[in-house]
Amino acid sequence: MALRRLCAAVVAALLAGLITVAASAPVQAEVQHPRQEWLRKSTAGLFLHWGMFTAPKHLDCAEWERDVTGGGWTPDYWIDEARKLGASYVVLATFHSRLGYARPWPSKIPGSCATQRDLLGELTKAGKAKGVKVILYMTDDPQWHSEQGVQMLDSAAYSAYKGEQVDLTTREGFGKYSYDLFFEVMKNYHDLAGFWIDNDNEYWERNKLYEQIRQLQPTWLLSNNNEDTPIMDTVSNEQKTGMFPSYDYPAATFTPMPRLSEACYKLPNTGDWWYDGGNHAVDTRLNTGRYITNAGSSIKSLMAETPMVNGKMPAQQEAYNNFMSTWVPPIQESIQGVEGAGYLYGGMQPGFWNDGAHGVITINPSTGKQYVHVVTKPRADFVRLRDNGYRVTGVKDLRTGERMRFSQSAGHLTIQGITKWDEYDTVFAVETAGQQGFYTGVKASATSSEDGFPASNLTDGSYETYWDANAAQPVSISLDLGRRKQAAFLAINQRESSPTHARVSFGRPEDSSRIKDYQLTASDDGRDWWHVRTGALPSARGTQFIDIGSQQARFLKLTVLNTWGGPQAPVYFKELKIDEIRVGHSSPRGTQGNALEAEDASRSGSARSEFCAACSGTRQVTGLGGGERNAVTYHDVSVATAGTYSLQLDLTSAAASSVSVSVNGGAPVSVAVPADRADVPDPTSVAVPLNAGRNTVKLFGTGKPLGLDRISVGGLPPANYTPKTTLTVTPHGVQWVAPGQQAVKITARLRLDADDQIDNVSLAPVLPAGWTLTGAPATRASMRLAGLLEGTWTATSPAGQDVGSVSIPVTASFQLLSSGRKVSGTVPVRTRPADRVFVREAEDSANSFGSTGLTSCGSCSGGEKVRNIGGSPDASVTFPNVTVPVAGAYKMFIQFTVNGPRSYFVSVNGGAPVEVKLNGVGNNTPYVAELPVTLNAGANTIKFGNDNAGAPDLDQIAIA
């Protein structure tokens, strides 16, 4: 024992020296480093959660190891399964808080399960032989130490080893224990590729663990879960869901290139991260889509599978791996050794394309070849996407080798005559002759800039420098072309530092900090400005474009009126950052394609063909207005089978108007057309019946004059497709009301977040029987991207009776291509218990949340709770207007969830905080604590927080 303490003292002295050296240099993110190169060239990794609690659970370490070996575990099986997936690395998560803190190596440091067999060494050796790296997962979290009713951390053994008392069930004690394990692993496993670390432990940070890893193993990678920690090589974004399309994982990530980032997600549709005894299904469509869209955003897919005790994958996961082993190789050149296109590496625009198509672009930085990945195929036989100035010279189907017809016009590439669609990803290899049509030497200035992030960064040609708007809105950016020149469009790359999909992740509200509404003006002298265009940009990744026709000006001024993020997500609210803005003067042109050009159709009345720089074929037909006498007629709009189709009309309109379409002499169908520009087309779609074969389609304006660029025919959206909207309904959370008749004020706001047009929009509450409503439905004839509809109503319950338990839906109904759609929110109302004078949910919109966030909780009151309370003064929840009838002493009942010992500090009416110590097992099990409080008559304010440490999650308070 004395010798062990002496050795520990020597090690401590050596580490202290390392700490001194490491502390002398400030920590900065090494965004690019030679040790990262192998991961940059990778597409994917295999994440393996496997340990003592892998089903069937083991509570004895030796028994678990015996069953692992007896079952035939072999490291080559895991390495081979990784290779089937096109994975370059394996992350082994066995020292995991929910898997018994097992260590798959013969550790000399006591404290938790350690195997006699060197499973980690065998895996590392097998991976090295087959070119697959191995990374070791390390947890920071001791809170699950007795989840199974048995203590899995041996404090006594570790204390004896250290010669001091250490409680491994505390964060400090566990930090000390796991800190030692890092050094043991670094000493014994030189062929490891690094550590994957599930968040940070304060002991590690205080003792400069990561800096020492950098010195002792400079080639190893460090990855951190859900945090962009500067010293880490990789930011891992865990289990993002709820996007549209559901596979578009990058929509929920927040890390700009060239920072390495990972998408960490489960392949099985259901179940735990580890094998729970079930053969859970794997959604091939979802997971191939994730795989491709991540590659198209330079994000590595870390796919979690659930090996059984003997290491074998459940049958459906193994079947998916076998499928990938044949599906990936034909397109390997398009997903390995490439980068996401549309960002700092150049390339065309990813995202939503024509007729419901969605996909990404990858680019080979060394050859310049681009790959168009059509993950969701269009409802037509062509794909049309923004070319970003690249002149295309050839297109082929990568899987079949077929040469494809294509055309370029109006800034778009159209790949035509596609009949062979891959079920999951049709890939087109695109050869180009480079990028053209952009000005160089443009100078930028702005009305506001954060120190160190000036407007000059917008046009410096580097995507790694950026302009920060310093939280100003509105804010203006002026672009000086040097002299009067022609300008046709702006290409904008916003900082990819926020998600595009508004969601809640780990209880933290997230939202897009990208441009929503904008105004563009122009000037010759920088003093007198004329209006060019007003509109909205989608909350989308990659290059975004503002078309302006043909403007002759020296100066262009982009005024950002607001951004997509709301105040509920303070980290992203008003946090506009832009990497680059480029001014385009022209676009590549090539052979015209299958679009039905207006100038090629028959014209009548005052309809005439005119030049239009922004139009397909550089022509449009104008003079469409005043009724049927001024029309464009197509005599050969052909489809293979009869049915109802989506007819897209690319129209120009200087004023709000409407367009009518008559098919085969039938009654015209009309649709609204919003005001925009007379020289920049924008799509409007209408549902029309078409016969098999040739059809005659006649179009005319019924209001202000319109111009028509082109039409195209596609299928209708699926019945299950509803354009993305944000419906905000207040009050949020269960409303606990007094006995007797009650009136509830309801406010709702509908925002259209998709680039669709919806018509006949109506927004109103739907009341339970016997209730009455004050206020009419809010309506709009039509809405487009970023359009808003708001309403306020008062719902009153029946006289002479209690509310009981009811829910009041607030429904937005609208039409999409003449087909009905609905989205709803709900206001639940309950009569509070007779022995309570006040009840309110923690998630109620009446409260203030600081930097905390809401999260779902099925067992909680109202199905939600507030998470991330504590750790800083602003991580608190404040209940205003806690109303009681008379001043005096009351009992406050606090409903909460917690795993392990934590505390609230509760302040009433600004008084001294009172500590409330709480304990429990499981973050989904609500408990109730009682606290005596003294309250004033009428309104009171009660605050829950903990400035220095994490507090329990909060479900509800009640006053008796």
Question: Domains, the chain, ranges and CATH?
Answer: 37-144+152-328 (3.20.20.80), 339-435 (2.60.40.1180), 443-584 (2.60.120.260), 596-714 (2.60.120.260), 725-831 (2.60.40.10), 838-959 (2.60.120.260)
- Asked if residues 464 and 344 have their Cβ atoms less than 8 Å apart, the reply is yes
- Stretch 492-509: mean pLDDT, rounded? 89
pLDDT tens-digit readout, 572-600: 999 999 999 999 999 998 875 557 999 99
Q: By percentage, how much of the chain surpasses pLDDT 70?
A: 97
Whether 14 has a pLDDT exceeding 50, the answer reads: no
Tens-place pLDDT, residues 720-762 = 999 999 999 999 999 999 999 999 999 999 999 999 999 999 9
Q: Give SS3 for 768.
A: coil
Phi, psi of 755 (to 5 degrees): -85, 50
**Three-state SS annotation for 672-721:** EECCCCCCCCEEEEEEEEECCECCCEEEEECCCCEEEEEEEEECCCCCCC
The tens digit of pLDDT for each residue in 240-256 reads: 999 999 999 999 999 99
Instruction: Read off the tokens for 175.
Output: 């930090």
Res 611: pLDDT = 95
Mean pLDDT within 917-929:
90
Q: What is the pLDDT of residue 8?
A: 40
Average pLDDT (394-404) is 97
Half-sphere exposure of 927 (CA within 13 A, CB side): 16
User: If we measure between CA atoms, which residue out of 495, 488, 487, 489 comes closest to residue 515?
Assistant: 495
Cβ-contact 747, 791 below 8 angstroms: yes
Split at pLDDT 50, 70, 90, the class of 3 is: very low
Residue 594 pLDDT: 59
Q: What's the start-to-end Cα distance of the chain, in Å?
A: 58
Instruction: State the burial class of residue 655 (Cβ atoms within 10 Å of its Cβ: 0-12, 13-18, 19+).
Output: middle
Residue 898: pLDDT over 80:
yes
Q: List CB contacts of 12: < 8 A, sequence separation 6 or more.
A: none
pLDDT at 592: 59
pLDDT of residue 924: 84
Helix, strand, or coil here: 945? Answer: strand
Task: Decide if pLDDT at 25 tops 70.
Answer: no
HSE, side-chain direction, 13 A CA sphere, residue 153: 26
Asked whether 274 and 208 are in contact (CB, 8 A), the reply is: no
pTM: 0.93
Q: Residue 568 to residues 501, 558, 749: CA-CA distances in angstroms?
A: 14, 26, 15
**Rounded to an integer, what distance in angstroms lies between the CA atom of residue 721 and that of residue 734?**
29
Residue 108 burial class via C-beta count within 10 angstroms: exposed 0-12, middle 13-18, buried 19 and up: exposed
SS3 of residue 237 by DSSP: strand
- For residue range 701-723, what is the model confidence (pLDDT) as tens digits? 999 999 999 999 999 999 999 99
For 364-369, what is the mean pLDDT? 94
**pLDDT averaged over every residue in the chain:** 94
pLDDT in tens, 167-211: 999 999 999 999 999 999 999 999 999 999 998 899 999 999 999
What does the pLDDT look like over 149-165, one tens digit per residue?
999 999 999 999 999 99
Q: What average pLDDT score do residues 822-838 get?
A: 97
pLDDT at 2 over 50: no
pLDDT at res. 234: 95
pLDDT band at 439 (very low <50, low <70, confident <90, very high): very high
CA torsion 774-780-785-791 (nearest 10°) is: -10
How many residues in total does the chain contain?
960
Residue in 414, 413, 418, 381 with CA at minimum distance from that of residue 400: 418
Once rounded to an integer, what is the mean pLDDT over residues 424-429?
Answer: 98
Cβ atoms of 234 and 261 closer than 8 Å: yes
Q: pLDDT-derived band of residue 509, with 50, 70 and 90 as boundaries? A: confident
Answer whether residue 555 shows pLDDT above 60.
yes
Run of H or E including 888: strand 888-897
The distance of Cα 502 from the centroid of its chain, to the nearest Å, equals: 7
Supply the pLDDT for residue 19: 36
User: If you search the block for the tokens 């669709």, which residue do you land on?
Assistant: 756
